[in-house]
Amino acid sequence: MASNLTSDSGTWCCDICNYTSSRRSNFERHEKSTAHKHLLQFNECELQECEQSNEIENEEIDSCSDFYQTEKEHSADQNTEYLKCTGINQSNKTSSEENNELPNSELPTNDTCAWYPFSSQVDFYLYVLVNSTTHPVSDAVVKFVIFMMKQCGVEGIPPFHSIKRKTFGTFDWNDFLLQGSDADETPMWSIHPSAIAKLAVAHPDVSKSLIRYPKISAKEECCHPAFADKWMNDLEFFSATIGDTIFYKGQLCKFVEDGNHQIGRIETFIENVQDQIPQAVISTVERLSKKPPECPSEKAFLVTGNKKNISIRDLRHRQLKNDESFYQKENSIDRLTGPISLQDFTLHSKNEKPIVTMPVNIFLDDTSTTKSKRWLPLHCIQMQLSGIPLEERHKEKSIHFLAASEKVDLLKLAELVVDDIKVSQRDGCLSYDASQQRECLIKCPLDVIVADYNVLSLCCNHLGASAEKYCPRCHASSASFNVLSRQRTPEETRRTISRLHLRSKEVDKAKLRKETGVKEHINCLWDVLDPHRDIPVGMLHLLPLGLTKHLITFLVNQMDKTQLARMSCHLETVLPSKGPDFFRYIESRQGKDFKSYLQVAPFNLLFGGANATAIRLVCCLAQIQWQFYQQKIDTKLLNELQDNIRRYQELIATHKPEFAKKAKTHLLLHAISDIERHGPPSFYDEESFEKNHGRIRDQIFLQNQKARSRDTAVKYAQHILCSHVITGGFFKDNKTWRQASQTIIHAGSEPVVKSFLGYHNESVRKVGEISKFHRHPNGHVKTFTARSDEPLAAVLHNTCSSTYSKGCCITSQSQDSINSGEWVKYTNSNGESSYGIFVEGITVEDHGKQSIACIQKGRNLNQNHSSLGCPLYKLECTYDFVPSSNVTSPSAFVHDCCGGQCRVTHKVTKNRIEQQNVTKTKLTLLHNENHNIYLFNHFHL
């Protein structure tokens, strides 16, 4: 029966759908629903098949009834599950509901199951199927897959509820969730940042690559935030470990220097790049010859301000004695303070576990880049570990979703994240250090907030671009856009907010807001960082979507149709991916489009006939972009960047004064202080965060749209736990930290599984490998015989074979695929770095494969272009045959179309449209083949 009436309770129940209602009309409406009919149809089909064979009947009925029984028992209202994870009282549940909750089965051990911690291979793959964020699958699809597998006789299929609610020891995705509400009691959900950090340090790959301390180097260059001022001066690092010995901040220690035994107090820890061993920054301790008044001990010591960097392998613990007192001097006052409490020396060593500091970056934004805010506004918060190296920093696995909501304010949503950061800073969070193979405490200070100008203003309690003093960082206005004015401080901003609250009239408040640029609203960020200094200028919104878009749009609007047609044809030869429609829809272009175009804009505008002022402005801005994107910034490069910024603003003040009203023109000046405080801008770039917006939106459209914040947070919490376990992360099971079995780790590293979970398959190709060979119609590789008059014959003279095969693609040392006709940097036979055009790759079968690269040589003319300053090269008619492994990387060269007077004409071309070859007549740029002069593009990233 599909339904029955429970007389004692007076409710109508549907056994198949687990639907209950006290009203008959609602129950009849349920019986007519599509979901009920589908399940009823499945049930009827199953019963018909069961009648065919008694043997099959018993097996099929058991399987089918088990399926529907588990659905009935465990598909109850999901709100109960979410209330459980937030600690809300659930004592009102009925006894029948308590009986329906099945306890989680114990995890199998490594000795009993090759698929530990999963029960079977089917359990593992179904778990992966459910927990992808890039290829999300609805619950209905998963249930139907389980149904099909049971119909096909697959054994070991877990029930659906166990897949959705799977936990691994003490790691439960429910514990990763955090619920809060705003002043109107609107609920919102987030993932604990400390939970993500806990998983990261417990993963071998992340733990080994994690940068844990500020770094110092003999070279005056900054290649990571660990080299910058904030890590060095503002963040706290609490412990360092060597062997089984742990040193803590605040402890007394002893060491020997120049034969003298000394004692000191540990202030912090750093790491020398050359030694690769942590060093303790020690404040030396000296005994006072005269005891201070009221000193309770026989001996008095002074903790001086003299700092020394001592390797932790040269340190020893120094025990505190009862007859000793320690004092220190106040800053700029020659007066002793103390004695220092003995508890201050052991404050961080009470837990007897290493303390790992894991600074985090938080990204605040909305996901309305391609969707209207009016229809689906959604504030989003993402996270990134600040200590991971650059090569891992912008990968999908390093960008973590935290929270999203369209119902509450962005800063209110951020309050959930900030509260968790404050708790982790105060109490720490227990985890497992996979590289040290021991338990540890982690603390997660907030390093930087990554945001655009609007969110920067919001976080700084700033009015925005409408204020007279439009800079959220200083008191600059459009009249003084090219100088750094007085720096804003949290204390000053809070005083201004208090003044605003004292104003009784809205007119007076509006006037004060416009004068000072300060806007009053509750801001949770003041307790964890200084928004005026710790929200660095983001490259994406400052350059591609800011200054570049402003300038290029302004210049394009001044061009006539003839100039734009020439520029479009030229752009199609330099950047084929942009095509002829770049200028037609320039207002709607994305940041990546302007980023690519600025690298070739000087050449394109010069060919289009732009005036000299426009060329100078674009060249200067392109040079600034190149310097911004460098991964290592030394003092010389920083000074050059500062000079280019000053020169650009002088050009703006002279030729385009209307751009002075744009706040981003002024924000360029703050980039220098941001680099000194936070490191190269490429370490806090917004691009990798922005790429996740589409994925987050896709998650929402798979939901019922009733609880976007909760359901999205749940999905990502399940995903990060899944990724952690199947890729070899540690989890605590029965007081023991374990990994998944090697079978699971191997299966999780399969390219298909990694791709399904949204992780790029990082395949390493062999350097110098030739591909895209010339083939016969049957697919066999063509072989050629070298004639004696060919240049290749001399190369093959010392080999036993004169036959070879040719390919059109080669893999460089930088792991780039280079096709025929592209410029490359390579090492010639004399060991010198040279440039040329890759013609073809040659593979010779001679005892073993020998790969040769044929390169048409380019000769440096030792002169620069008069307008662009780019070095000039001439393409020779001679060729270099070098080992294919000598090809270093692709290079950016642009044909000198102006010098060669290349022309634009109509030409019949073949295009690939809708997977078909189409012949069209279009404007095309024809290069002058007799003019072999090329410009080296020093603006290329």
398 phi/psi in degrees, rounded to 5: -100, -5
Local confidence band at 613 (pLDDT 50, 70, 90 cut-offs): very high
What digits encode the pLDDT tens for the residues 95-105?
A: 333 333 333 44
Average of per-residue pLDDT across 163-180: 91
**Per-residue pLDDT for 729 more than 90?**
yes
Q: How far apart are CA 753 and CA 723, in angstroms?
A: 10
* pLDDT in the model for residue 99: 35
* pLDDT in the model for residue 401: 93
Closest among 214, 351, 341, 210 to 281, alpha carbons compared: 214
What digits encode the pLDDT tens for the residues 285-319?
A: 999 888 888 888 888 899 988 899 999 999 999 98
Average of per-residue pLDDT across 1-17: 59
Task: Please state, as a whole number, how many other Cβ atoms lie within 10 Å of the Cβ of residue 209.
Answer: 14
Contact assessment for residue 698 and residue 132, using Cβ atoms and an 8 Å cutoff? no
* pLDDT in the model for residue 769: 92
Integer CA distances (angstroms), 645 to 549, 602, 637, 725, 746, in order: 17, 17, 12, 48, 51
Average of per-residue pLDDT across 663-692: 92
Q: Report the amino acid identity of residue 99.
A: N
Local confidence band at 46 (pLDDT 50, 70, 90 cut-offs): low
With a pLDDT cut of 90, the percent of the chain lying above it is 59
- For residue 233, how many C-alpha atoms fall within 13 Å in the half-sphere facing its CB? 6
Element (H, E) at 430: strand 429-433
Please, where are the H alpha helices in 94-230?
A: 95-100, 121-130, 139-151, 160-164, 193-201, 204-209, 229
| Residue-range domain boundaries for the chain | 3-76, 215-356, 453-527, 539-689, 770-862+875-889
625 phi/psi in degrees, rounded to 5: -60, -40
* pLDDT in the model for residue 251: 92
**Per-residue pLDDT for 65 more than 50?**
no
469 phi/psi in degrees, rounded to 5: -95, 85
**Per-residue pLDDT for 465 more than 80?**
yes
158 conformational bin, left if phi > 0, alpha if psi -120 to 50, beta if neither = beta
Q: How far apart are CA 672 and CA 643, in angstroms?
A: 11
* pLDDT in the model for residue 75: 39
Q: How far apart are CA 451 and CA 449, in angstroms?
A: 6
442 conformational bin, left if phi > 0, alpha if psi -120 to 50, beta if neither = beta
Q: How far apart are CA 847 and CA 849, in angstroms?
A: 7
Determine the CATH number of domain 215-356.
Answer: 2.30.30
* pLDDT in the model for residue 336: 84
Burial classification of residue 892, based on how many CB atoms lie within 10 Å of its CB (0-12 exposed, 13-18 middle, 19 or more buried): middle
Among the ranges given (221-235, 291-305, 372-386), the one the predictor scored with the smallest mean pLDDT: 372-386
Local confidence band at 757 (pLDDT 50, 70, 90 cut-offs): confident
